[in-house]
Structures are given as structure tokens and as C-alpha cells.
């Protein structure tokens, strides 16, 4: 056997033995958790037409997508995330949205990320979409479900940071910033780059009063108190409304008893085009990237010809596993019983194994 045949390409890997058993256990627990909240399972194709993930609806720049060409010359894409696919499916098959729709998914996603940065190109994601409910109760439900899923698998030190794009947009509108500057400012503020934002606003000729208000958004992250100071600083109805919505959301999260894991960040402005109001990310020590992200995306279904409000999140299971390992979370291991036989007593051994298997134990027959 040639050794070169044994390699896997960069960014993908084999997961086997105990590691895979642990991963499957985690996936099982989370799927059950989704089930407890009444989410129905859905499976969409691994690859779809390019347009489903295009710039207007997509999360991933075109250059980071794995593309395939079919026999007719159509460009297809390995899904970089689930939401556009699930949304397309809903627009196609669910004609009656008079009642909110709860869907959950599980599978692998693919991004052709830059090499040598220690990131996997294929990861497992699990998530939910709650479609047809525009209330804060829907947002609270998805956030609480994300938190309870993480707690159920034994993660302890983590935090969900919630942002609200509308606050930022209201402040931009009040300051009279044009779209181009707003887009650049969005990048600076999501990177918490104060001096970059300041230079940009000075160049754009924004008054000092508005400049200070906008720059201050950078500091608006942390526990619930920051919402109160955010409200004080807001100079327009749109921003005030945004904060009020977050305050109301927090109250419901308290009823769920998950407020301990929640913080706010009004400078968190996702680069994902499709999020329209609240967005959230889950941070945990020991992982370079967020382990879950979600939010409200009320405009996405419209892209597929079926306007409806929606909110959802996706957990990246591989990063969650890394966080669980770092935090030394305990995952139950299934023990396998060995029943030993030789050529003479095989029947007895088999009978014993049968009894044990019926009891639900894992048994392997071992020949001596």
C-alpha cells in the first residue's frame, strides 16, 4: 500500500473510535432536546444550485464555496450552512403557514476556507428554524433552546451574546450617514475598532455629537445594565425601540431561567446579510471561533417568493466538542461486554450474548 493513499485532503479528517462515539452522544442529546421543544426533523440536499447561496441570500462569499458543475453546465454548491436550503424547502413545500413551523436539522457543511489556519472545511452542524412567528417569544424560545442544548451536553462556561442591528441602523439614520459609509462603519464596529470608526466618521464629516454616539456603540457590550445606558444614549425612535425589544426579550429569558448565560452586545453586527433584527453568538473558552450563531432573518423567505418572519440558530458540533474537551466535560462512555467462546461452547456464549443484548447491553463475541 502506498503511504500517499492514506492521506486525507487538508481541512477534512477521519473521526473514529471513542472520539466519534462522544460526538454521536452529543448529537443524540441535542436532537432529543430539539424534539422536546417540538421541532420536526428535516433533511435537505448536501449540494444545491449556486443561486440558493448567492450573495443576496448567502452567508459565505462565493470564493469560499465548494462548487461543482453538473452535466448541463449548472453550477452547484456544497452547502456552507443550512438556513438557505431549509428556507427554500419551506417556500416550496409548506403552503400553509398559518401556524408557526418548527424545523430542526443535522448534517455536515462545507466551506473552502483559507488554508493553514487550523480550521476544518467540513464540520457538523445542528440547528433549528422557527418560521412564521414574529414575536419576541420566538426569539426567546430559540435562545433558550440553544442554551439548554449546551447545558444538556455538559458545557459549563459559555455565554450567548445578543445584538440588535436595528440599534446601529437607527443611530446611523439619525446621523445621516450614507449607505457606503454605513457598510464600512459596520465592519469597524463589529471588530470593535474604535479608531478606525473615528477616522471614518471624521472623514465623512459627521458632527461630533453624532460621532460620539456612534463610537459609543463600541462600548455597549456586557451584562443587562448596558441596555439601560444604551437607551439613555439613543437619540431616535428606531434605536429606542430596538433596546426596548431586547429588554422585553431579557424578561422572557428570565422566565426560562437562562439569563445567567446571556449578555448583550450592541456592536455585534453580523456580516450575514440575511439577519434583520436580533442576532446572537455563543462564545466559549478554548475555541477560536463562536460555537453557535443565530438570529432573526425576516427577509430571507421573501427571496424565495414567500415572505414570512423567521428565527433560528446553528450549533457547530465540532467546535462544541473542542470546547467540551477543553472544559473537561464528562461524556458517558458506553462499555462493551466481551463474551468469550471457543469452538466447543459457542452455543452457550451466543445464548448469553442474546440475553444481554435484549437487556440493551453492548456485547461482542470474542473467540479464544
Q: Which residue lies nearer to other proteins by CB, 154 or 286?
A: 286
Would you tell me how many other CB atoms lie within 10 Å of the CB of residue 113?
Answer: 13
- Indicate if the alpha-carbon torsion angle 142, 148, 149, 155 is positive or negative: positive
What does 138-206 look like in DSSP terms, one character per residue? HHHHHHHHHHHHHHHTT--SEEEEEEEHHHHHHHHHHHT--HHHHHHHHHHHHTT-HHHHHHHHHHTT-
Distance CA 166, CA 181 (A): 16
| Minimal distance, residue 90 CB to other proteins, in Å | 31
Q: Which residue lies nearer to other proteins by CB, 221 or 256?
A: 221
Q: Which residues of 62-101 are buried (b: 16+ CB within 10 A; e: fewer)?
A: eeebeeeeeeeeeebbbbbbbbbbbbbbbbeeeeebeebb
Among 135, 159, 216, 327, binds other proteins (CB under 8 A): 159
Segment near other proteins (CB under 8 A); pick from 61-69, 73-81, 154-162, 229-237: 154-162
Q: Which residue lies nearer to other proteins by CB, 194 or 248?
A: 194
| Minimal distance, residue 113 CB to other proteins, in Å | 11
Q: Which residue lies nearer to other proteins by CB, 91 or 282?
A: 282
Among 10, 18, 157, 251, binds other proteins (CB under 8 A): 157
Segment near other proteins (CB under 8 A); pick from 30-38, 111-119, 246-254, 328-336: 111-119
| Minimal distance, residue 161 CB to other proteins, in Å | 5
Distance CA 284, CA 325 (A): 12
| Minimal distance, residue 109 CB to other proteins, in Å | 18
User: How big is the chain by its Cα radius of gyration, in Å?
Assistant: 24
Q: Residue 218: phi, psi to the nearest 5? A: -55, -30
Q: Is 62 in the site for other proteins (CB under 8 A)?
A: no
Among 40, 191, 203, 209, binds other proteins (CB under 8 A): 191
CA angle 309, 314, 306 (to 5 degrees): 25
Q: Which residue lies nearer to other proteins by CB, 118 or 205?
A: 118
Q: Is 263 in the site for other proteins (CB under 8 A)?
A: yes
Among 151, 174, 194, 339, binds other proteins (CB under 8 A): 194
Q: Which of residues 2-31 bind other proteins (CB under 8 A)?
A: none
Q: Is 286 in the site for other proteins (CB under 8 A)?
A: yes
Q: Is 332 exposed, middle or buried (0-12, 13-18, 19+ CB in 10 A)?
A: exposed
* Nearest residue to 152 via CA among 17, 280, 314, 332: 332
How are strands ordered across the β-sheet holding 47-49? 47-49, 75-78, 67-69
Q: Which of residues 89-108 bind other proteins (CB under 8 A)?
A: none
Q: Coil, strand or helix: which one is 315?
A: strand
Q: Is 290 in the site for other proteins (CB under 8 A)?
A: yes
Q: Residue 349: phi, psi to the nearest 5? A: -60, -45
Q: Is 270 in the site for other proteins (CB under 8 A)?
A: no
Task: Report yes or no: 188 and 200 within 8 Å, Cβ to Cβ.
Answer: yes
Would you tell me how many other CB atoms lie within 10 Å of the CB of residue 183?
Answer: 10
Among 45, 107, 154, 196, binds other proteins (CB under 8 A): 196
Q: What percentage of the chain's residues is helix, strand, coil (to nearest 5)?
A: 45, 20, 35
Would you tell me how many other CB atoms lie within 10 Å of the CB of residue 348?
Answer: 11
Q: Is 305 in the site for other proteins (CB under 8 A)?
A: no
Q: Is 254 in the site for other proteins (CB under 8 A)?
A: no
Among 109, 161, 164, 276, binds other proteins (CB under 8 A): 161
Segment near other proteins (CB under 8 A); pick from 8-16, 133-141, 279-287, 350-358: 279-287
Q: Is 329 in the site for other proteins (CB under 8 A)?
A: no
Q: Is 193 in the site for other proteins (CB under 8 A)?
A: yes
Q: Which residue lies nearer to other proteins by CB, 254 or 263?
A: 263
Beta bridge partner(s), residue 159: 283
Among 195, 330, 335, 336, binds other proteins (CB under 8 A): 195
| Residues found near other proteins in the complex (CB under 8 A) | 114, 117-118, 157, 159, 161, 191-196, 219, 221-223, 263, 265, 283-290
Amino acid at each position: 500500500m502506498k503511504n500517499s493513499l492514506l492521506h486525507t485532503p487538508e481541512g477534512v479528517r477521519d473521526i473514529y473510535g471513542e472520539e466519534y462515539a462522544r460526538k454521536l452522544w452529543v448529537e443524540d442529546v441535542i436532537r432529543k432536546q430539539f424534539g422536546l421543544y417540538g421541532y420536526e426533523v428535516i433533511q435537505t440536499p448536501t449540494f444545491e444550485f449556486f443561486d440558493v447561496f448567492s450573495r443576496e441570500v448567502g452567508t459565505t462569499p462565493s470564493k469560499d464555496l465548494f462548487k461543482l458543475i453538473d452535466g448541463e453546465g449548472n453550477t452547484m454548491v456544497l452547502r456552507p450552512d443550512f438556513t438557505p436550503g431549509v428556507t427554500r424547502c419551506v417556500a416550496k413545500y409548506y403552503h400553509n403557514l398559518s401556524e408557526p413551523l418548527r424545523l430542526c436539522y443535522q448534517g455536515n457543511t462545507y466551506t473552502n476556507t483559507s488554508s493553514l489556519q487550523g480550521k476544518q472545511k467540513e464540520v457538523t452542524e445542528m440547528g433549528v428554524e422557527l418560521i412564521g412567528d414574529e414575536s419576541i417569544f420566538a426569539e426567546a424560545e430559540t435562545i433558550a433552546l440553544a442554551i439548554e442544548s449546551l447545558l444538556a451536553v455538559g458545557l459549563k462556561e459559555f455565554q450567548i451574546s445578543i445584538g440588535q442591528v436595528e440599534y446601529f441602523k437607527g443611530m446611523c439614520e439619525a446621523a445621516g450617514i450614507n449607505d457606503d459609509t454605513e457598510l464600512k462603519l459596520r465592519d469597524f464596529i463589529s471588530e470593535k475598532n474604535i479608531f478606525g470608526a473615528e477616522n471614518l466618521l471624521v472623514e465623512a464629516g459627521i458632527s461630533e455629537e453624532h460621532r460620539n454616539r456612534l463610537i459609543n456603540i463600541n462600548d455597549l457590550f456586557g451584562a443587562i445594565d448596558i441596555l439601560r445606558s444604551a437607551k439613555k444614549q439613543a437619540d431616535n425612535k428606531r434605536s429606542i425601540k430596538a433596546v426596548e425589544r431586547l429588554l422585553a426579550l431579557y424578561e422572557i429569558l428570565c422566565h426560562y431561567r437562562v439569563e445567567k448565560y446571556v449578555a448583550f452586545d450592541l456592536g455585534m453586527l453580523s456580516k450575514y446579510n440575511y439577519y434583520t433584527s436580533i442576532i446572537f453568538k455563543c462564545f466559549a473558552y478554548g475555541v477560536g471561533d463562536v460555537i453557535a450563531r443565530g438570529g432573526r432573518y425576516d427577509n430571507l423567505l421573501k427571496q424565495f417568493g414567500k415572505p414570512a418572519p423567521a428565527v433560528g440558530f446553528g450549533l457547530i458540533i465540532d467546535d462544541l466538542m473542542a470546547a467540551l474537551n477543553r472544559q473537561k466535560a464528562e461524556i458517558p462512555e458506553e462499555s462493551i461486554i466481551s463474551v468469550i467462546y471457543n469452538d466447543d461452547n459457542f452455543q452457550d456464549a451466543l445464548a448469553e450474548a442474546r440475553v444481554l443484548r435484549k437487556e440493551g447491553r453492548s456485547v461482542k463475541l470474542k473467540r479464544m
